[in-house]
């Protein structure tokens, strides 16, 4: 499936035949994963962030947000509940918050792995490669390091001076350590074009990732992009479907941002090439404060028990919520 021409991809991005594209992506996805959908339960353990990304509500300069940090026991309890409810993967996610030491995060990983037969994914931002090495030794299985865009100039602009080359070094570095690696982009960022999305798709594909995410941009009122329009959900579906065509065995989530823009956004994603759902299992008292964009973690999205609700959603599509860790098929087949 890697032989799609750039012209063909661009034509799909321009909406030449959504029906055909989505059907093709669904067919490939089902050929690869049969009726299984993987569950990754996210514990958003801190919304403090030292970065100033222009698109994100957690940016350090947003003083309108109620900041929280979960203590270790609360993080582990949330992870345990998710594991007992059938999540095969626990994602530990936060802003770039250096108040959690390397050892402390390592101990949380060890604790979860000791108690439950789950995979642990870290989504904790720009920490040192030595820290990622340490956490790998503690039992962490995967890293999520989003690129947001694969254009170095746009990256530097929207992440307020950060270096794309450094971020890419981190993606490659954690891969070398032995982690499964996920990356991804936001579709419909201010100034995007179908051509820039084509480049994003080709670049992400060239990285041979285990997981690839693409969610639509949603303007947050307390950011410099507050008056930019939301990303088009159809464009986000086209990008995920095309990523499926070019990366048959990759894990591709139906992102929560889809649900913030349209009803059943994630559910529809599962019929268009996506094979992963990532419900929030952050304690309900804090969940709405993990406000990356409006509508993110509206409590109604995942209810009191995100994993159980996600399983119901999967079953309503006649698909099967998988209790497996959902390692990438790429690894199994090589
Ligand atoms: N709209 C959509 N997605 C966003 N993210 C951050 N801000 C936005 C936004 N305004 C995504 C990024 C980030 C993840 C935590 O959420 O991909 O990595
Ligand atoms: Fe922080 Fe990540 Fe938001 Fe940037 S995108 S401000 S690094 S939480």
C-alpha span between 262 and 275 (Å, rounded): 19
| Predicted confidence band of residue 229 (pLDDT cuts 50, 70, 90) | very high
Q: Which two tokens stand for residue 252?
A: 């591709």
| Predicted confidence band of residue 300 (pLDDT cuts 50, 70, 90) | low
Extended beta strands in 70-217, E state: 89-94, 119-123, 142-144, 180-187, 211-216
- Residue 186 Cβ < 6 Å to ligand 2: no
- Residue 131 Cβ < 6 Å to ligand 2: no
- Residue 146 Cβ < 6 Å to ligand 2: no
Extended beta strands in 192-237, E state: 211-216
| Predicted confidence band of residue 328 (pLDDT cuts 50, 70, 90) | confident
Ligand 2 midpoint to CA 78 (Å): 22
- Residue 53 Cβ < 6 Å to ligand 2: yes
**Quick check: 88 and 118 in contact, CB under 8 A?**
yes
- Residue 96 Cβ < 6 Å to ligand 2: yes
- Residue 51 Cβ < 6 Å to ligand 2: yes
Does 51 have pLDDT greater than 80? yes
Give the ligand 1 atom nearest the CA of 213. 17
Give the ligand 2 atom nearest the CA of 52. 6
Give residue-wise pLDDT tens across range 131-174: 999 999 999 999 999 999 999 999 999 999 999 999 999 999 99
The preferred substitution site among 40, 51, 55 for testing ligand 1, maximizing ligand atoms within 8 Å of CB, is: 55
Which residue's CA is the closest to the ligand 2 atom numbered 2? 95
Find the residues whose C-beta lies inside 6 A of ligand 1: 55-56, 146, 148, 186, 215, 217-218, 220, 257, 292-293
pLDDT of amino acid 304:
65
* C-alpha dihedral (125, 129, 131, 135), degrees to nearest 10: 90
Give the ligand 2 atom nearest the CA of 94. 8
**Quick check: 228 and 217 in contact, CB under 8 A?**
yes
Mean pLDDT of 168-186: 98
Does 3 have pLDDT greater than 90? no
| Predicted confidence band of residue 329 (pLDDT cuts 50, 70, 90) | confident
Give residue-wise pLDDT tens across range 214-224: 999 999 999 99
Which residue's CA is the closest to the ligand 2 atom numbered 7? 51
pLDDT of amino acid 82:
96
| Predicted confidence band of residue 4 (pLDDT cuts 50, 70, 90) | confident
Give the ligand 1 atom nearest the CA of 220. 10
Give residue-wise pLDDT tens across range 85-104: 999 999 999 999 999 999 99
104, containing H or E segment: helix 102-115
pLDDT of amino acid 237:
98
Which is it for strands 211-216 and 276-277: parallel, antiparallel or unpaired? unpaired
Q: What percent of the chain has pLDDT over 70?
A: 96
pLDDT of amino acid 99:
98
Mean pLDDT of 74-89: 96
Ligand 1 midpoint to CA 296 (Å): 9
* C-alpha dihedral (73, 78, 81, 86), degrees to nearest 10: -130
Give the ligand 2 atom nearest the CA of 59. 6
pTM confidence score: 0.96
User: How much is the mean pLDDT over the chain?
Assistant: 95
Give the ligand 2 atom nearest the CA of 47. 8
Give the ligand 2 atom nearest the CA of 57. 3
- Residue 283 Cβ < 6 Å to ligand 2: no
C-alpha span between 23 and 314 (Å, rounded): 18
Lowest pLDDT segment from 62-76, 235-249, 301-315: 301-315
| Predicted confidence band of residue 333 (pLDDT cuts 50, 70, 90) | very low
Ligand 2 midpoint to CA 164 (Å): 14
pLDDT of amino acid 22:
98
Mean pLDDT of 311-320: 97
Ligand nearest to the CA of 292: 1
Ligand 2 midpoint to CA 333 (Å): 34
C-alpha span between 210 and 228 (Å, rounded): 31
């Amino acid at each position: 499936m890697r032989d799609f021409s750039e012209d063909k991809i661009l034509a799909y991005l321009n909406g030449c035949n959504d029906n055909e594209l989505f059907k093709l992506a669904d067919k490939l996805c089902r050929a690869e994963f049969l009726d299984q959908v993987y569950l990754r339960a996210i514990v958003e353990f801190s919304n403090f962030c030292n970065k100033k990304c222009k698109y994100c509500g957690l940016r350090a300069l947003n003083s309108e947000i109620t900041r929280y940090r979960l203590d270790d026991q609360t993080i582990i309890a949330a992870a345990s509940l998710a594991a007992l409810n059938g999540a095969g993967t626990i994602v530990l996610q936060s802003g770039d918050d250096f108040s959690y030491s390397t050892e402390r995060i390592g101990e949380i990983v060890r604790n979860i792995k000791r108690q439950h037969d789950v995979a642990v994914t870290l989504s904790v931002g720009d920490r040192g490669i030595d820290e990622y090495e340490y956490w790998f030794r503690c039992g962490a299985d995967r890293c999520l390091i989003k690129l947001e865009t694969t254009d170095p100039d746009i990256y530097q602009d929207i992440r307020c001076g950060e270096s794309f080359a450094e971020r890419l070094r981190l993606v490659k570095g954690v891969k070398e350590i032995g982690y499964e690696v996920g990356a991804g982009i936001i579709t419909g960022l201010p100034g995007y074009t179908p051509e820039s999305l084509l480049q994003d798709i080709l670049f992400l594909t060239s990285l041979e990732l285990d997981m690839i995410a693409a969610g639509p941009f949603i303007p947050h009122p307390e950011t410099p992009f507050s008056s930019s329009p939301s990303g088009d959900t159809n464009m986000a579906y086209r990008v995920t479907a095309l990523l499926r065509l070019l990366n048959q065995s990759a894990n591709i989530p139906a992102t929560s941002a889809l649900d913030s823009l349209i009803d059943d956004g994630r559910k529809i994603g599962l019929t268009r090439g996506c094979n992963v759902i990532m419900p929030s299992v952050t304690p309900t008292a804090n969940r709405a404060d993990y406000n990356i964009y409006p509508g993110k973690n509206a409590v109604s999205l995942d209810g009191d028990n995100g994993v159980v609700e996600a399983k119901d959603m999967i079953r309503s599509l006649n698909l099967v919520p998988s209790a497996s860790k959902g390692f990438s098929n790429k690894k199994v087949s090589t």
